[in-house]
Amino acid sequence: MQEVKFQDAAYRNPFKMAQEQCDNCAEFLNLDPGIHAIIREPMREIHVSIPVRMDNGTVKVFKGFRVIHNNALGPAKGGIRFHPEENIDTVKALATWMTWKCALLNLPLGGGKGGVICNPKELSKGELERLSRGYIAQLWQFIGPDTDIPAPDVYTNPQIMAWMMDEYSKIKGKNQFGVITGKPPVLGGSAGRGDATARGGMYTLREAAKVRGLDLSKATMAVQGYGNAGYYAALLAGKLFNTRIVAISDSSGAIYNPEGLDAQRVFEHKSSTGSVAGFSGAERISQDELLELKVDVLCPSALENSINVKNAHNIKASIIVELSNGPTTPEADDILFANDVHVIPDLLCNAGGVTVSYFEMVQNTSMLYWEEEEVYRRLDKKITAAYHEVLKTSFKYKINMRQAAYIVAVKRVEEAIKLRGWV
C-alpha cells in the first residue's frame, strides 16, 4: 500500500486512526467512492443520559453511547465498556474495527460498540446494577437479537451482561437470552467464552511462530495489561506452549523477572492488592521498559496507542500479539514492518472473543449447547484459517499483516454492499 504520512505524535485519535486505515485500504483497492464513503462513517450513533440513584440517595447522571458502524453482513455485534475515560471517538473506532473483525472471521455480523463514562471501581454492586439496567432502559429500542447484540468489554463482565439481558427481557415481556452475549453459562452463556479472546490470540501466535521458526517452548513473552485478555494470555502461553512469561504490567505498574513469572500467582497478587506491582521476586520496571524488553513475543493487552512513533524503533520482540484494540498507530506499523517485526493485528488476533460470542448466539437460537472442547475446536479452525488468509494476502502484495487483514475484510463488506444495492 502507498505509505501515508502522519504528524509526529504519540497519541492518535482512535477514530481518525481507524478512518486513515480504511482510507489506505480503499486507495489500495481502488474502492468505489460511494462504498468508501459508506464504510468511513458509522451508520448510527446514539448518545444517552442515564440517571442512577446512588447509595447515598442522590441521583447521578452518567453519559453513555452505542454506535453501529456497518451492518451489511448482518446485525451489529460489539462490547460495552465501562471506563472513566470513555469517549465517543473511541466507541466509533471500536465499532469500526468490529466491522472488519467480523468480516475477517467470515461471521454474518456487522460492527457495533457501546460505552458508559464511569469508574466501576468506585461503584457499589447495587449502583453498578442500576447503571447497567439504566443503560438498557435508554437503548432497548435500538438493540436486539436481529439488530445489535452487545457483549462484555473493558470493566464489564458476565454479571453485568446478566443484568442487561434481564432488563431487556423485562421490557420485552419474555426471556431474550440472545440479546446479549458473554452471559453466565446458566443464562445461556457459551462454554469457553471467558478465555476466548486470549485463546484465539494464542492460536494465531502458534501459527506465527511456525512462520518465524520460533520454538515457543524456549521463547519469552512480555504481557502489557493484566485484565481478562492479558491474564489468560499469560496463563495459556504457559499451559499450551510452555512459554516463559518474564514481564507483566497493569495500569498501576509493571514487573520483570528474566527467570519467569507464575501467571496465576501474579493474578492472585493483583486480586488481593489491586495491582501486579509489589509482586514478590520481581523487579519493578516502567510501562515503557516493558514494551522495549528484549523478548520473543510482546502481547499488548491494554488500551489504544501503546506502540507509537516514539517507541516503535525500540521494540525488540519478534512477534507482537495484539490482544487489545488499536494498540499500534499507523506510523508505528510502518516502523515495525521495516524492522521485520511480525505483528498479528488486533482485527485478527483478538477476534476470538467475537467469534465465541457468535457461537453463543448460534447456541441461544438452537437451544443446543456445546461442550468446551467443541467451542475451542471451532474457534481454532476459524481463526487459524483467517490467519493464513491474511498471511497469504500479506505475501502476495508485500504489505504488513494489518493492511492485509483490511484488504480481506473490506472486500467482503464491499461485496455485501454491492449485492444489497446500497450503491
- In this predicted model, what pLDDT tens digit does every residue of 205-223 receive, in sequence order? 999 999 999 999 999 999 9
Q: Is the dihedral of CA 399, 402, 406, 408 positive or negative?
A: positive
Do 81 and 115 meet the contact criterion of CB atoms below 8 Å apart?
yes
Grid coordinates representing 118 are 464511569
For all residues of the chain together, what is the average pLDDT? 95
Domains in the chain with CATH codes:
42-175 (3.40.50.10860), 196-349 (3.40.50.720)
Q: Is the dihedral of CA 232, 273, 282, 328 positive or negative?
A: positive
pLDDT greater than 80 at residue 81: yes
**Model confidence at 154, in pLDDT bands (50, 70, 90)?**
confident
Lay out the sheet containing 44-53: strands in order across. Answer: 44-53, 59-70, 110-117, 76-83, 148-152
Distances (CA, A) of 352 to 150, 229, 379: 15, 10, 7
- Establish whether 125 is a catalytic residue: no
Count, residues in the chain? 423
What is the structure's pLDDT at 174? 96
Instruction: Output the pTM of the full model.
Output: 0.92
C-alpha 238/C-alpha 261 separation (Å) is 10
Please name the residues in contact with 318: beta carbons below 8 A apart, sequence gap of 6 or more: 212, 214, 296, 297, 341, 342
pLDDT greater than 50 at residue 420: yes
Counting residues of the chain whose pLDDT is more than 70, the rounded percentage is 97
Looking at 77, 113, 183, 270, which residue is catalytic?
A: 113
Higher pLDDT among residues 162 and 13, named by residue: 162
DSSP state of 318: S
Identify the helix (H) or strand (E) that includes residue 344: strand 342-344
C-alpha 158/C-alpha 143 separation (Å) is 18
Look up residue 24 and give its amino acid.
N
